[in-house]
Structure 1
Amino acid sequence: MESDLSSFDIDAPRWDQATFIGRLKHFFNITDPRTIFVSEQMLDWAKIMVENSRRGTVPPGTDREQLLYAKKLYDSAFHPDTGEKMNVIGRMSFQLPGGMALTGCLLHFHRTLPAVVFWQWVNQSFNALVNYTNRNAASPLSGRQMAVAYVTATGAALGTALGLTLGTKGAPKLVARWIPFAAVAAANCVNIPMMRQQELLHGLVVTDAASRELGQSRRAAALGISQVVVSRITMAAPGMILLPILMQRLERLAFMKKIRVLHAPLQVLLAGAFLVVMVPTACALFPQRCEMPVSRLEEELQASLRAQYGDIAFVYFNKGL
Structure 2
Amino acid sequence: MADPGMMKEDLTTSEPATPRLNLDEPMFDQNVYMGRAKHFLMVTNPLNVLLSNAQLDEAKKLVQLYREGKEPAGTSNDEVWTAKYRYDSAFHPDTKEKMMLIGRMSAQVPMNMCITGCMMTFYRTTPAVLFWQWFNQSFNAVVNYTNRSGDKPIPVSQLGKSYALATVGAVGSAIGLNSLVKSAPPIIGRMVPFAAVCAANCINIPMMRSAELANGIPVFDENGHRLGNSKKAAKSAITQVVISRIFMAMPGMLLPAFVMNKLDKGTFLKRYPYLGAPIQVSMVGIMLLFATPMCCALFPQKSSLPVSSLEEDLQTGIQKRGGGIDRVYFNKGL
The alignment's TM-score, normalised by the length of structure 1, stands at: 0.96
CA 4–256 in structure 1, closer or farther in 2 if over 3 Å, else same: farther
180, 192, 206: which one aligns with 2:193: 180
Secondary structure of the structure 2 residue equivalent to 1:22: helix
235, 239, 250: which one aligns with 1:237: 250
Cα distance in 1 for partners of 2:181, 2:137 equals 23
Residue identity in the other structure for 1:291: S
2:154 is equivalent to residue 141 of structure 1: yes
What is the aligned partner in structure 2 of residue 74 from structure 1? 87
Residue identity in the other structure for 1:259: Y
Residue identity in the other structure for 1:270: M
Measured against aligned partners, the alpha-carbon deviations of 1:157-212 in whole angstroms (never above 9, x if no partner) come to: 01111111112221111111100000000000010011111100011111100111
What is the aligned partner in structure 2 of residue 63 from structure 1? 76
What is the aligned partner in structure 2 of residue 292 from structure 1? 305
Cα distance in 1 for partners of 2:141, 2:66 equals 34
2:286 is equivalent to residue 269 of structure 1: no
Q: Retained in 2: the 8 A contact 1:6–1:57?
A: no
2:255 is equivalent to residue 246 of structure 1: no
Cα distance in 2 for partners of 1:305, 1:121 equals 44
Residue identity in the other structure for 1:290: S
What is the aligned partner in structure 2 of residue 100 from structure 1? 113
Q: Retained in 2: the 8 A contact 1:31–1:94?
A: yes
148, 151, 154: which one aligns with 2:164: 151
Measured against aligned partners, the alpha-carbon deviations of 1:58-102 in whole angstroms (never above 9, x if no partner) come to: 112322221111111101111111221111100111111001001
Shift of 1:310: 5.6
Residue identity in the other structure for 1:175: I
Cα distance in 2 for partners of 1:198, 1:125 equals 19
Cα distance in 2 for partners of 1:164, 1:202 equals 36
Residue identity in the other structure for 2:243: V
What is the aligned partner in structure 1 of residue 175 from structure 2? 162
The alignment's TM-score, normalised by the length of structure 2, stands at: 0.93
What is the aligned partner in structure 2 of residue 19 from structure 1? 32
Secondary structure of the structure 1 residue equivalent to 2:150: coil
Cα distance in 1 for partners of 2:96, 2:17 equals 26
What is the aligned partner in structure 1 of residue 66 from structure 2? 53
218, 235, 254: which one aligns with 2:231: 218
Q: Retained in 1: the 8 A contact 2:150–2:331?
A: no
2:302 is equivalent to residue 320 of structure 1: no
What is the aligned partner in structure 2 of residue 116 from structure 1? 129
CA 63–149 in structure 1, closer or farther in 2 if over 3 Å, else same: same
Measured against aligned partners, the alpha-carbon deviations of 1:9-37 in whole angstroms (never above 9, x if no partner) come to: 33332110011000000011111000100
Cα distance in 1 for partners of 2:329, 2:279 equals 43
2:217 is equivalent to residue 204 of structure 1: yes
Residue identity in the other structure for 1:178: M
**Unaligned regions of 5+ residues in structure 2, if any?**
1-15
Query: Which deviates more, 238-247 or 97-106?
Result: 238-247
Cα distance in 1 for partners of 2:82, 2:324 equals 40
After the TM superposition, list the runs of 4 or more consecutive aligned residues in structure 1 that deviate by more than 3 angstroms. 3-8
Shift of 1:5: 6.7
Query: Which deviates more, 134-143 or 202-211?
Result: 134-143
Residue identity in the other structure for 1:188: N
What is the aligned partner in structure 2 of residue 189 from structure 1? 202
Cα distance in 2 for partners of 1:307, 1:71 equals 36
**Unaligned regions of 5+ residues in structure 1, if any?**
none
Residue identity in the other structure for 1:197: S
Query: Which deviates more, 117-126 or 294-303?
Result: 294-303
